[in-house]
Amino acid sequence: MPDLVGEALARLDRVEPVLCAFHTVFRSFAPVDPSLPLAGMPIAVKHGERRSHREALTALGCVPIGLTTTPDGSTPWQTWGRNSRGVTRNPWNLDRTPGGSSAGSAVAVAAGVVPLATGVDGAGSIRIPAAWCGVLGLKTTSAERAAVGVFTRDPDLLAIYLGTSEVSSPTAVWSSDLGFAEVDDEQIEIARRAAAPLRPRPVDLVLPDPADDWFAHRCGPNPVLDELFETTDLLLTPATPGPPHGHDGPGSRINTALTWAFNLSGHPAISIPAGFDSEGLPVGLQAVARHGREADLIAAARAVLASDRVF
């Protein structure tokens, strides 16, 4: 067994009884070609996601050590961490949810069990837990509402995952609320401060609330966004309207308010750690790019994380 895998399993065994991040843990592994770019790197895989996504990572040399927890369907709110194994907890505050539905994957990276974990983002299901757990969470370009992606702390791993070596210097604009969302002032301020290295200009953006289109399963081009991306590379916003809720659920708050429009339009997006709120809970900065321009999201992550404004 590769040393990195053994270390990951040891870490998993220490934190799992408290965090409940894994649905299944693997203990035996096939040999890995040492010439592969991520040879021997332990990863976690979201329970129930597409096999093809997992296989793409194992083709890079990654070693899955387990399947991570997701909400089990007993709750209508996927940002709740309740599942068949118990309650998945936020490493920064055990009384708060890590978000979802890719809950366990975000926790596995945030707790230092693995450097990379997979997820599926159906309405913010990668970006929300990434924001609330203080890690990077990438949703890739997709023609469907649900898009695959990953969690990590390292932008360079995102580049290897995407198979790109491109270095870009994207332009950016800033919107606090997309013109319709109710966002806490603290989330806005922390995310705006983290965005400063990208020098975004404010934009008077008004998107229609995507709730009706979401529940009607209407996906496709968004004329407002198409026009916006004619003049900029990135749209920056807070990743979530508020902090992680408790384990009793979110109440009436729509935690997907700032994320699900980009599932309908198919744009790639990322949540980048932006700092901490007054309760010591992580806050995320969301960056959205043109279709197929994930390289600009990596550039944004590198710029923000290199700044002394974050963490």
What are the backbone dihedrals phi and psi of residue 104, each rounded to the nearest 5 degrees, phi first? -65, -35
Strand-pairing partners, residue 276, are: 282
Which residue among the candidates 46, 105, 142, 175 is catalytic per the annotation? 46
Rounded CA-CA distance 238/220 in Å is 23
DSSP readout, 23-71?
Answer: EEE--------TTSTTTT-EEEEETT--HHHHHHHHTTT-EEEEEEP--
For the purposes of burial, counting CB atoms within 10 Å of the CB of 163, is it exposed (0-12), middle (13-18) or buried (19 or more)? exposed
Token pair listed for 278: 């007054």
Catalytic option among 105, 125, 142, 265: 125
User: 139 catalytic, yes or no?
Assistant: no
Residue 127 makes CB contacts below 8 A (sequence gap 6+) with 121, 137, 139, 239, 259, 269, 270, 271, 284, 286
In the sheet that 116-121 helps form, which strands lie side by side, from edge to edge?
A: 22-25, 63-68, 42-46, 116-121, 147-152, 136-139, 269-276, 282-289, 234-238, 172-174, 201-202
- Helix then strand then coil, in percent of the chain rounded to 5, is 30, 20, 50
Would you call 271 a catalytic residue per the annotation? no
* Structure tokens that stand for 87 in this block: 């309650």
Let me know if 169 is a catalytic residue.
no
Catalytic position from the list 101, 175, 176, 271: 101
Catalytic residue annotation: 46, 101, 125
